[in-house]
Amino acid sequence: MLEQQRFLVKQQVSLLSGRADYDIFNPDTQQQVGAARESRGFLKTILTMPLAKKKRPRTIEVRDSAGALVFTIHRPWSLFRSKVRVLDANNQLLGYFKTKLLSLSGGFWVYDPQDKQIAEIKGDWKGFNFRFLTPEGKDLGHIGKQWEGMAKALFTSADTYMVSLTDEASRDRTTKTLLLGASLAVDIVFRESK
């Protein structure tokens, strides 16, 4: 799944479940290469229902088309500032995102497992496009919201994102995993309103 340089991430429409589920495609072939599914039990669902969707703890497992776990993102309960951890298939920390405190455009600071800042995910003023930048400002990739039509935009909160990596970033599996994980984190932290 992580062999390609671009991914199309489509959130599934869920009117009643409140789950964060996504299908991941190769945009060039339109073939589904993976899926991201929220992992939560019945008790956790009941206990977190009073919380706004943006504040609920979330664990999303990303699996390839054969069902093998590729990575997991986890956001614990948060009041003001979210911290989203990215774990590999062996449950080892690859890095984490921390939301910026005072930012009109949204975004995250990206840290490695040793708490060193390694990148920034910077949003535009509309909150639909994000850039993945090194601390020196070098571009590693983009996350852009895709238009899916008027009906979907008006009646659902399901979004579609194009994730594109630069040639250099696509050669590093950890960077690729963090950028793909960031597209999911952008949705569960910034885009969900209820």
Residue with the larger pLDDT of the pair 89 and 16: 89
Q: Are 83 and 188 in contact (CB under 8 A)?
A: no
| Span 162-185, average pLDDT | 92
Closest CA to 68 of 90, 85, 95, 84: 90
| Span 138-158, average pLDDT | 70
Question: Is 72 a member of any domain?
Answer: yes
Structure confidence at residue 112 (pLDDT)? 95
CA separation for the pair 11, 22 (Å, rounded) = 4
Write down the residue that tokens 């194009």 correspond to.
Answer: 162
Which domain does 34 fall in, by range?
Answer: 6-96+143-163+173-191
Question: Is 136 a member of any domain?
Answer: no
Helix (H), strand (E) counts: the chain: 4, 12
Show the CA angle centred on residue 101, arms to residues 134 and 74, nearest 5°: 70
Number of domains into which the chain is organized: 1
Question: Is 11 a member of any domain?
Answer: yes
| Span 182-189, average pLDDT | 84
Distances (CA, A) of 85 to 138, 147, 189: 23, 28, 13
DSSP letter at 30 equals: T
Residue 46 confidence class, pLDDT cut points 50, 70, 90: low
The whole-model pTM stands at: 0.83
Does 66 score more than 90 pLDDT?
yes
Share of the chain above pLDDT 70, in %: 75
Question: Is 184 a member of any domain?
Answer: yes
Residue 145 confidence class, pLDDT cut points 50, 70, 90: confident
Structure confidence at residue 50 (pLDDT)? 47
